[in-house]
Structure 1
Amino acid sequence: MAPSAQAGLKKQYVSSDKAPTRKPMEPRPSASILLISPINQILLLHRVRRKSDAFAAAHVFPGGNLSASQDGDIPAPDHPQRHVDGPAYRLGAIRECFEESGILLARKNDGSGSLLEVPEIEKNRARKEIHSGNLKFVDWVKTQGGVVDSESLLPYTRWITPTNVPKRFTTQMYIYFLPLQTTSISSLGLPITSEAMIPIPTSDGGIEHTAALFQSCSQWLSQAAQNEIILFPPQFYLMYLLSPFLQASEAPTALSVEELQKQRDYVMEFLKTDGDGKGVLWKDKVMSPMGLGGFSKDGRAILALDKPGPELKASGRRGDERRVVLVKFGKQGPRDVEVRLRAEVLAEQREGASKL
């Protein structure tokens, strides 16, 4: 790769092995949700194309920066809870999901446990008011007869932006399963199936996103593999891990409720494992992608996911020791993203070097 291309690479998402020339920016607390539909599809939002945005024109999970005025106390940079799942991260994730997609993750406070339903006109009004800071999200949910459903969020890794990037984030990822169908028995002894509504996500009017859509993990990954959409390494990697479990069909009636629930059960079991034998469960894994040095045989950067970043260097927390992400960075964003086993990629590197 030409020196100019290598220099450009260092300005992208991947971190180099060299220490930064100045103190790295403090990562801003943020949170995102992998929102799973009643037929086990996943929601992505298409970000607007602005040079100032960290993920311009990319497809991303709903989420964003925490707000002290909206989400409560945010742990200070030197606080032990700064990079740990907590109330502010959970509330921020659900608030941002509502602002960006219009999907409200709140339950009725009548004891039924049902998702709160709010008229579309009122939701649209509230989204704008909450985004502008004129309305507090939690207070508004209460006025609608609900409570924020933060307890149903499942922690699923944390990502800390590498130190060489100007805008850094410490992002808590969550999974949230929207309700499946339920079956009850009528007074005549006949089964009544109540199909859970698949919510229709909507953009925020172009403030940050231009489109919002549910599709299967495999569909999103296929589109990214063909470079039809932009997926940054975290989004690609997390959906790659879920895709073997969530084999969603595009037809709502193709899979039974039992089959869909079984897929979700597999995900729940997966989250209870560490994935690489190092003892750090998926809810506690921290990824700060860093270049391994050199490139793959086809010229892609090799991002290691095992380090947690300088903020958690002595914490004992780790990322994924088994896998790496291959990616080619360019002006249009990351391309040709792929998840591979680290041992295989390093073996290919050694083999290539021995032939020189």
Structure 2
Amino acid sequence: MPRAKGDGEKKRQPAVARPSSSVILVSPKNEVLLLHRVQTSSSFASAHVFPGGNLSSQDGPCPPPEDHAHHEDGPSYRQAAIRELFEESGILLAKDKTSGKMLVVDEATREQGRRLIHQNKVTFGDWLRQQNATAEADIDLIANLREDPLIPFTHWITPIANPKRYTTQMYLYFMPLPVNIDKRLLEDLPDEGERDEVPVPTSDGGVEVTEAQFLPAAAWLDRAQKGEIILFPPQFLLLHLVSGFLDQESRSTVSNGEMEERRAALMKFVHSGSPPWTDKYISPKMLKVTEDGRTVLALDDAGPELKGSDKRGESDRVVLVRFTKGSAREVTVAWKKDALREGKEGRSNL
């Protein structure tokens, strides 16, 4: 008797995409923080990544996976971004919600807090309140006195073929530029010790991260193209976009005014496009393979979880990458029209 179609051949369901968030932290020198993940990491092993990680119950509730809101920017994603940044690099982005001033905690206390939070001995929120009764993660506007501190900058959903999948909200966060006293009221100046400082990130002792460092986005891209570090497509693309605005010149000295102008230009870009980069949802799909064996990834699909929604990705650019043994090499960004034309020209010459 012929076997009924489908008997014993259940289609493998894609893994549920776990919610996570990452932050592209821009220093007072307009440099970007990357972390070097340990070789034993279950994801992005040995790669350089933005600080971030999975949402935890302590970050607050997240809608269920079948709800489109599960993939949307919200308090739990924001809380996780700031918490993971602190755990992985020691950089604390928290404020006194009464005064709006940033929270300053000495290094020894911060290091102890990182360990306790990572070991689940205390929640990030409780630890903050131990330092200051009205302290909270810097995730919200304060009485509309300043711009949103965490700026959404694309959302990525891992392709369904991957055994481990994530739905990751990316954010931009600009640390204040060095203070210009002539442009500020005296009472608005930060305390001594906070002025003109570039924070020094540190690893978490090798638990997940072996190194944490600020460098210009262009320098990170150059290191990746030389094969010195591993950058996966999301990190490479976003660094590529950031570099186009923050690294316009190679001069060693750039004025505060110029750095502010570059930030403003990047902000204008982030809020541009259709949809704007703040609301692009990207689940990479293979478009083709180049003659030299690299995969061309299209970025316009939002992923299966958002099918039927109005979410869309980036239709003009593609990422080229050579995947080898779980690693990503020879990554570049190209215009989609150019990548498609190269294939057609190659066939016409045969």
Aligned to 2:131, which of 137, 140, 144?
144
Give distance in 1, aligned partners of 2:72 and 2:196.
Answer: 32
| CA distance 1:306–1:185, change in 2 (3 Å) | closer
Runs of 4+ in 1 over 6 A off after TM superposition: 248-251
Match of 1:171 in 2: 168
The 2-side partners of 1:327 and 1:21 are apart by 29
**Number of aligned residues:** 324
Distance (whole Å) between structure 1 residues aligned to residue 123 and residue 329 of structure 2: 39
Q: Which residue of 1 aligns with 2:318?
A: 324
Paired residue for 2:150?
153
Q: What CA deviation, in whole Å up to 9, does each residue of 1:199-252 have, x standing for no partner?
A: 00000000000000000010000010111100000000001011111128898x
- Counterpart amino acid of residue 107 in structure 1: K
Q: C-alpha separation between the residues in 2 aligned to 1:307 and 1:165?
A: 16
Equivalent in 39, 64, 67 of residue 76 of structure 1: 64
Alignment of 1:118-133 (within 5 A): 118-133=105-120
Instruction: Give the Å deviation of 1:184.
Output: 2.5
Q: Tell me which of 259, 277, 283 is aligned to 2:278.
A: 283
Structure-2 separation of matches of 1:182 and 1:200: 18
Secondary structure in structure 2 of the residue aligned to 1:228: coil
SS at match of 1:244: helix
Please say if 1:104 is aligned against 2:98: no
Deviations 1:287-324 (A, max 9, x none): 1111013x113221100000011001211211110011
SS of residue matched to 2:181: strand
2:12 to 16, 22, 25: 22
Query: Which residue number in structure 2 is paired with residue 7 of structure 1?
Result: none
Q: Distance in 1 between matches of 2:199 and 2:101?
A: 14
Equivalent residue for 1:354? 348
Aligned to 2:256: 257
Distance 1:36-1:83 versus aligned 2 partners, 3 A rule: same
Q: In the alignment, residue 47 of structure 1 is paired with which amino acid?
A: R
- 2:40 equivalent to 1:43: no
**Is residue 2:335 matched to residue 1:341?**
yes
| Counterpart-to-counterpart distance in 2, 1:147 and 1:169 | 26
In 2: Cα distance, 1:250 partner to 1:108 partner: 37
How much does 1:109 deviate?
Answer: 4.0
- Segments of structure 1 that go 5 or more residues without pairing to the other structure are 1-19
After TM superposition, the structure 1 stretch with the greater mean CA deviation from structure 2, 326-335 or 236-245, is 326-335
Q: Evaluate the alpha carbon distance shift between residue 199 and residue 281 of structure 1 in structure 2; reply closer, same or farther with a 3 A threshold.
A: same
Residues 144 and 321 (structure 1), Cα distance of their counterparts in 2 relative to 1, 3 Å cut: same
* Matches for 1:81-96 after TM superposition, within 5 Å: 81-96=69-84
Q: Distance in 2 between matches of 1:80 and 1:336?
A: 34
Aligned to 2:296: 302
The answer as to whether partners of 2:66 and 2:305 remain within 8 angstroms in 1 is no
Work out the CA distance in 2 between the residues paired with 1:332 and 1:284: 28
Letter of the 2:257 counterpart? E
Deviations 1:31-79 (A, max 9, x none): 00000000100000000001x52100000000000001x1011211122
Q: State the TM-score, normalized to the length of structure 1.
A: 0.87
Q: Secondary structure at the match of 2:323?
A: strand
Q: Does 1:59 align with 2:56?
A: no
Instruction: Give the structure-2-normalised TM-score.
Output: 0.88
2:226 is matched with 226
Distance 1:291 1:80 in 2: 24
How many angstroms apart in 1 are the aligned matches of 2:171 and 2:158?
Answer: 17
Task: Identify the match of residue 178 of structure 2 among 177, 181, 187.
Answer: 181
Which residue identity is paired with 2:335? L
Task: Name the amino acid aligned to 2:48.
Answer: H
2:11 & 2:198 partners in 1: Cα distance? 49
Aligned partners of 1:42 and 1:214 also within 8 Å: yes
- Which whole-Å CA distance do the structure 2 matches of 1:249 and 1:135 have between them? 45
> 1:72-122: CA deviations, max 9, x gaps?
1121112231010000000000000000000001123451x3321111111
Q: Which amino acid is the alignment partner of residue 286 of structure 1? A: Y
Q: Distance in 2 between matches of 1:143 and 1:127?
A: 14
User: Which residue does 2:236 correspond to in 1?
Assistant: 236
CA contact (8 A) 1:180 1:195 kept: no
Q: Secondary structure at the match of 2:245?
A: coil
Percentage identity across aligned positions? Answer: 48
Q: Which residue of 2 aligns with 1:31?
A: 21
What secondary structure sits across from 1:206 in the alignment? coil
The alignment yields a C-alpha RMSD, in angstroms, of 2.1
Pairwise CA distance, 1:331: 2.2
Alignment match, 1:247:
247
Instruction: Provide the C-alpha distance between the structure 1 equivalents of 2:223 and 2:11, rounded to a whole number of angstroms.
Output: 38
Given the superposition, is the C-alpha separation of residues 248 and 49 from structure 1 closer, same or farther in structure 2, using an over 3 Å criterion?
Answer: farther
